[in-house]
Amino acid sequence: MKRWHYLLGGPALLLLIIQFVPTELPAVETDNSGDIIASGIVSEEVTKMLKTSCYNCHSNETEYPWYSHVAPSSWLVARDVRIAREELNFSLWQDYDMIEQLEKLDDIYLEVEAGKMPLGIYTLVHQSAKLDDAQRKVIIEWAEATMDVIAESEEDAESEEEEVNEE
Ligand code: HEC
């Protein structure tokens, strides 16, 4: 038998076979009126960073790279995007209530400060998604300031309600 017979019988054959295992990549939706950016609370600078470093996993606007269509990497991508969207989906921002928005911003603050997001496995392949110290600082300051803005707007709404009730 020639050498390539052995090759085909081993890992190559296995790779070929696993291509037939069905994987469903989470659907892409580009028309998202409830997106966080559409809500006007994100500066242009932060918008750019979220789009480059987070949106492929944490939004409905995922741009799937070629390796997300080939097993076994497709399985990992499908799983990561599914879980990431469940935890935090920037496309559905306006569906979150005030408490949820505050929680998500707090999580963003902590994850980015600790350098846990974007995921290391992602920046390994997507170098441009890496955040340096200065960029991380901009994101965490934005998250903190935005939490204040959201909490204050709720307080204003409450005190207006009280005034109306007193009248
Ligand atoms: C490669 C996909 C990917 C990218 C890119 C990515 N994330 Fe995540 N993120 C995940 C996954 C998967 C989880 C859930 C599992 C986990 O916590 O590790 C997650 C979880 C989170 C959570 C919730 C953490 C918790 O435990 O409550 C926050 C907040 C978050 N990511 C923020 C971000 C931000 C901000 C960016 C961009 C700077 C980003 N992520 C980029 C995949 C990603």
**Is 167's pLDDT higher than 80?**
no
Q: Kindly state whether residue 22 falls inside one of the protein's structural domains.
A: no
Pick from 91, 131, 89, 124: nearest CA to 107: 89
Minimum-distance ligand 1 atom for the alpha carbon of 56: 5
Q: Kindly state whether residue 124 falls inside one of the protein's structural domains.
A: yes
Pick from 131, 90, 85, 86: nearest CA to 112: 131
pLDDT the model gives residue 163: 76
pLDDT the model gives residue 6: 63
What is the domain extent for residue 108? 41-166
Top pLDDT among 90 and 166 is at 90
Ligand 1 site residues (CB inside 6 A) read 53-54, 56-58, 80, 83-84, 87-88, 107-108, 111-112, 117-119, 122
Average pLDDT over residues 17-23: 91
Q: Which residues contact 117 (CB under 8 A, 6 or more apart)?
A: 53, 54, 108, 111
Q: Kindly state whether residue 117 falls inside one of the protein's structural domains.
A: yes
Q: Kindly state whether residue 75 falls inside one of the protein's structural domains.
A: yes
* Confidence category of residue 8, pLDDT binned at 50, 70, 90: low
| DSSP annotation of 126 | -
Minimum-distance ligand 1 atom for the alpha carbon of 80: 12
Q: Kindly state whether residue 110 falls inside one of the protein's structural domains.
A: yes
Q: Kindly state whether residue 104 falls inside one of the protein's structural domains.
A: yes
Split into its structural domains, the chain has a count of: 1
Mean pLDDT score of the chain? 92
pLDDT the model gives residue 158: 79
Average pLDDT over residues 78-106: 98
In the chain, the N- to C-terminal Cα span, in Å, equals 95
The model carries a pTM of 0.91
